[in-house]
């Protein structure tokens, strides 16, 4: 995460409201907001992608908890 802010649009009444959010914050839909540079970095670090936060899906595609700790593993990871 960095100090960059991201402009996002959140539902506001019948319209959308423009807000600035810090990189790494959670957005209106529970998604993690990442500045473009950070997202690029995490995509390289976690080629398997993620659901909520970078690293929460192991290389088998299993969701392994939304911790930033890369030690979270699934049963298949354990067997390796
Ligand atoms: Zn960032
Ligand atoms: Zn695994």
Dihedral (Cα; 11, 49, 47, 19), 10-degree rounding: 20
Q: Which residue has the tokens 């991201």?
A: 6
- Residue 52 Cα to ligand 2 midpoint, Å, equals 17
Provide the whole-model pTM: 0.70
- Whether residue 55 is predicted with pLDDT greater than 80 in this model: the reply is yes
Task: Label the pairing between strands 5-12 and 15-22.
Answer: antiparallel
Kindly give the distance from the C-alpha atom of residue 60 to the centroid of ligand 2, in angstroms, as a whole number: 4
- Residue pair 26/12 in contact (Cβ under 8 Å)? The answer is no
- For residue 1, the model assigns a pLDDT of 75
Q: What is the mean pLDDT of residues 41-58?
A: 89
Of the ranges 3-12, 22-31, 67-76, which one carries the lowest mean pLDDT score?
67-76
What is the residue extent of each domain of the chain? 1-45, 48-80
Output the pLDDT for position 19. Answer: 92
Tokens of 25: 């914050």
Residue 30 has pLDDT above 90, yes or no: no
Residue 69 has pLDDT above 60, yes or no: no
């Amino acid at each position: 995460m960095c100090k960059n802010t991201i402009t996002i649009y959140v539902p506001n009444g019948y319209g959308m409201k423009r807000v600035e959010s810090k990189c790494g914050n959670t957005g209106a839909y529970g998604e993690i907001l990442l500045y473009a540079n950070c997202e690029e970095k995490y995509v390289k670090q976690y080629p398997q992608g993620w659901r909520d936060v970078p690293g929460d899906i192991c290389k088998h595609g299993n969701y392994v908890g939304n911790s930033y700790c890369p030690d979270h593993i699934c049963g298949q990871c354990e067997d390796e």
